[in-house]
Structure 1
Amino acid sequence: MERYDLLYRLYDTFDAAGVREEQDFVDLLPPLDSRVGLSHWQAVADELSNEKARIRRSLPDGDRYAELAARATRDQAFTALDLYTKYGRAVNALVLDVDETLRSAGSTDNEIPREVLHLLTEFHESGVPIVICTGQTLENVKGFAIQGLGNELVHSGDVSIVYEAGTGVFTPGHGSDTKRLLYETLDESVQSVFESVRGRVIRDLPDELRGNVHLQGNEFNVTLKPNFETGSDDAEAVIDGGLVYMLDLLGEAVTDDPAGPTWARAFYAESDPEIESVLSDRDALPEAGVTDEIPDDVRATFDRVTIAYYHADAAELSAVDLNKAAGVEAALDVLGVDDPFVLVMGDSKSDLDVMEWVAANDCGISAAPDHSSPGVLDHVRDTDGLVFDRGDASSMLRTIYALNLLVD
């Protein structure tokens, strides 16, 4: 019997929703001291065992379909089977952004939901390595990873952290490869630009920004953050101003020519519509044709450096050669994933680098929450259409768990 027919039979004949609810209850119920609570938990566990046994007896390859009923909704299971039909492979690593992907300030109080954490543990126990891929600092990521997943899992040798959007990779339990500082591989000329900007960015803050922004504690990237709630009007105002300020610092770091700041504004406005819009709104956009005046050596350095603008959140200076895709490649190398087929989940421009790398190399699939940046959503919809609701990363993890169950 074909797998599609078996799925129809599973979800039409059995109370799969009830089985899944019982599985969630058994998996996610906090530890209990109450005898009554423990007795109820045991009763649910026994009923779950009985329902799974019924499915096993009734369907060919019943173990597989009993687990599918317990882990995935009907829609998730059929999406998983479509992915299996298309790719014929299991996902052998997870590549996961954190902020606004695994956790969302909009609906989960900015904490990773327990359901998501449990699913990550399930993937780990099934032998799927986890790559946490974020723009945050290493210490921040290590803190919430250990708190959420547990010290034993994080230090199991199967978890890697790509931090600061690809400037470094931390993979506990791998000896000399535990920490790879990718920024040390950059040319000295590029490193000197970052040293110059980092040395001045707080010291030379203009009055309108002083006290309103701070420098994120990165090892390499230079990131200005607002001293206001992310997304607020005040945060928007200071980050927009901070973007213009950092463009000018970059121009002065790259060349001694007085036109350096103007060249930097023109160059990055031409390459990024969001930056162009900010400069235009602040009457800071150079006249048309300025980019034609940029000397080749200055342009070559600008080509090696990225200025990223995150609305009402951050203005960030980073190296083109250091991005999340480069970090993920290094992480998979350390983890020993030689023939990767990964799930990438993310919402921002930096995550798009990984998604495009995966698509170009036919080595995985991509998913994104529905509030992601337009470029990310366009890419995901044009590939497999794996868009999930804000704060509902668990739905996509369940789909991929189902995919892996379906693979022989």
Structure 2
Amino acid sequence: MERYDLVYQLYDEYDTKALQEYQEFVDVFPAVDSRVALEHWQEATEELEERKDEIRSSFAAGETFAEVAARATRDQAFTALDLEAKYGRAVNVLVLDVDETLRSAGGTDNEIPRETLHVLTEFHEAGVPIVICTGQTLENVKGFAIQGLGSEIVHSGDLSIVYEAGTGVFTPGHGAETKQLLYEDLDESIRTVFDDVRSRVLPNAPEELRRGCHLQGNEFNVTMKPNYETGSGDAREIIDEALVYLIDLLADAVGTMLAGAESEPDGSDSTAADVGAEGDGETKLADESIVDWTRAFYATQDPEIRAVLEGEGAYPDLDDAVPERLAAVLERIDVAYYEADAAEIGSLELNKVVGVERALDVLGVDDPFALVMGDSKSDLRVMEWVAANETGIAAAPEHASQDTLEHVLETDELVFDRGKSVDVLRTVYALNRLARLG
């Protein structure tokens, strides 16, 4: 009988909804010191096994179908079948964003739901490595990972943290490769720009902006966060202001670095070569124009940034193209805008793709087929990377950025409701089970 027919039979003839309710209760039952509660849990466990035994005895692949029915809804099971038919392989690594993906301020009280954490532990027990891939600082991620997944999983050697959107990778249990500071490999010219911005970003900020923002404690990236509730009107207003300020500060830092490169008497400074300094015909980077050119550059790169600049009355009216030696530097620096959440600068040479590649190398995943879950443009780069290399599938929440959502809809349509990342994880759990059948 065709596998699709068997799955139809499974969900038509058995009360799979009740089976899933028993399974979820058994999985996430809290540790309580109550004899009555423990007896109730034991009764539910026995009932769960009896229902699974009915399925086990009715199908040649009964164990597989019993586990699929207990974990996945009908729609999730058929999506898993479609993925298995399309790709012919199981997912062997999870690449997961955190904020607004595994957890959501609007849907999970900003905590990773217990059912999500439990499914992640099941993937771990099945030998599937986990790569946490986030823009957060390492200490923040380590804290909630240990609290949610437990120290045993975090330090198992099968979990890696790509933090600050790819500036560093932390993989406990791998000796000298445990912590890798990828930003140390950048050219000195770019590191000089970031050091300059970081040293001045709050001291030089207008008083209102200084009161309304704080710096995220990054090792390398410069991220301004609101002192208001994320997503609120006040947060949106202050982050829009912060974005303009951060772009202008970056322009000044790049201008200072370029001026220093041009002043080298023998022209031997590597910075000048790195930034593409040209001859006398190049437009001079005057202080009064470099800010406008930098604003124009990033407005062209990102429609959201342009909209903010226009709304703040900061969009430049320029006829001249951005000078090449300035563009050569800006093309290596990312300015990111997250509405009502953050304004950030980072290195385009250090992104989540670079971090994930390094994490997979340390974890020993030589032939990856990843589930990539995320909501932002930085996650989209990883999704596009796995799609281009045919090394994975992508999933996103329904409130993801427009480009990210479009990519997911154009590939496998793995879109989930806010705070319900567990739905995709259960689909992939079913995929991996079904892929074992060959």
Distance 1:319 1:31 in 2: 45
1:331 paired with 2:334, answer no
Within-5 A mapping of 1:159-238: 159-238=159-238
Partner Cα distance (1:58, 1:210) in 2: 67
1:384 to 405, 408, 412: 412
For residue 264 of structure 1, give the secondary structure of its aligned residue in structure 2.
helix
Q: Give yes or no for the alignment of 1:77 onto 2:77.
A: yes
Q: How far apart are 1:210 and its partner, in Å?
A: 2.1
Q: How many residues align?
A: 406
Distance 2:160 2:69 in 1: 31
Aligned to 1:281: 311
Matched, 1:43 2:55: no
1:51-103, CA deviations, whole angstroms, 9 ceiling, x for partnerless residues? 11111111111111011111111110000000000000100000000011000
Q: Distance in 2 between matches of 1:20 and 1:5?
A: 21
SS at match of 1:387: strand
Unaligned runs of 5+ in 2: 257-285
Structure 2 partner of 1:271: 301
Report SS of the residue matched to 1:339.
coil
Partners of 1:66 and 1:333 in 2: how far apart? 35
Q: What is aligned with 2:68?
A: 68
Query: Hey, what's the Cα distance between the residues in 1 that align with 2:85 and 2:111?
Result: 35
Aligned to 2:144: 144
Worse-superposed segment, 205-214 or 193-202: 205-214
Please, which moves more after superposition, 337-346 or 201-210? 201-210
| 1:53 matched to 2:53 | yes
Q: Partner letter of residue 372 of structure 1? A: A
1:10-55 superposed Cα distances (whole Å, 9 cap, x missing partner): 1111111111111111111112322222222111111111111111
Cα shift readout 1:201-235 (whole Å, capped 9, x = no counterpart) = 01111233121111110000001111111111111
Deviation at 1:261, TM superposition (A): 1.2
Determine the C-alpha separation between the residues in 1 that align with 2:435 and 2:407. 25
Structure 2: distance between partners of 1:306 and 1:391: 28
Q: Secondary structure at the match of 2:353?
A: helix
Q: Secondary structure at the match of 1:10?
A: helix
SS in 2 for 1:223: strand
Please say which of residues 138-147 and 25-34 is displaced more in the overlay: 25-34
Q: 1:301 aligns with which of 306, 326, 329?
A: 329
Q: 1:261 aligns with which of 291, 315, 319?
A: 291
In structure 2, what residue type is equivalent to 1:84?
Answer: E
**What is the deviation of 1:262?**
1.3
Query: If you compute each CA radius of gyration, which structure gives the higher value, 1 or 2?
Result: 2
TM-score, length of structure 1 as denominator length: 0.98
Structure 1: tracts of 5 or more residues without a match: none
* CA distance in structure 2 between the aligned counterparts of 1:5 and 1:161, rounded to whole angstroms: 41
The answer on 1:345 being equivalent to 2:373 is: yes
The residue number in structure 2 matching 1:124 is 124
Structure 2 Cα separation of the partners of residues 377 and 150 of structure 1: 31
Which amino acid letter does the alignment assign opposite residue 368 of structure 2? P
Aligned-partner residue type, residue 198 of structure 1: R
Corresponding letter in the other structure for 1:162:
V
Does residue 356 of the first structure (1) align with residue 387 of the second (2)?
Answer: no
How far apart are the structure 2 equivalents of 1:304 and 1:5? 53
Q: Which amino acid aligns with 2:434?
A: L
Task: Give, in angstroms, the shift of residue 253 of structure 1.
Answer: 1.0
Please list the CA deviations of residues 90-143 of structure 1 after superposition, one character each: whole Å capped at 9, or x if unmatched. Answer: 000000000110001112111000000000000000000000010000000000
SS at match of 2:169: strand
* Aligned mates of 2:340, 2:16 — CA distance in 1: 44
The separation in 1 between residues aligned to 2:343 and 2:98, in whole angstroms, is: 19
Counterparts of 2:231 and 2:14, CA distance in 1: 46
Q: Which residue of 1 aligns with 2:94?
A: 94
> 1:325-381 CA deviation, whole Å, 9 max, x = no partner?
111111111000000000000001111111011111100000000000000000000
Question: CA separation in 2, counterparts of 1:207 and 1:51?
Answer: 65
The answer on 1:27 being equivalent to 2:57 is: no
The aligned amino acid for 1:353 is R
Q: 2:354 and 2:203 mapped to 1: Cα distance?
A: 32
| SS class of match (2:132) | strand
- Aligned residues: CA RMSD: 0.9
CA distance in 2, matches of 1:163, 1:270: 27
- Partner deviation per Cα, 1:245-271 (whole Å, 9 max, x = no partner): 111111111114302211110111111
Report the more deviating stretch, 225-234 or 147-156. Answer: 225-234
- Give the 3-state SS of the residue equivalent to 1:218 in structure 2: coil
Q: Give the Cα separation in 1 of the matches to 2:45 and 2:312.
A: 62
Amino acid at match of 1:29: F
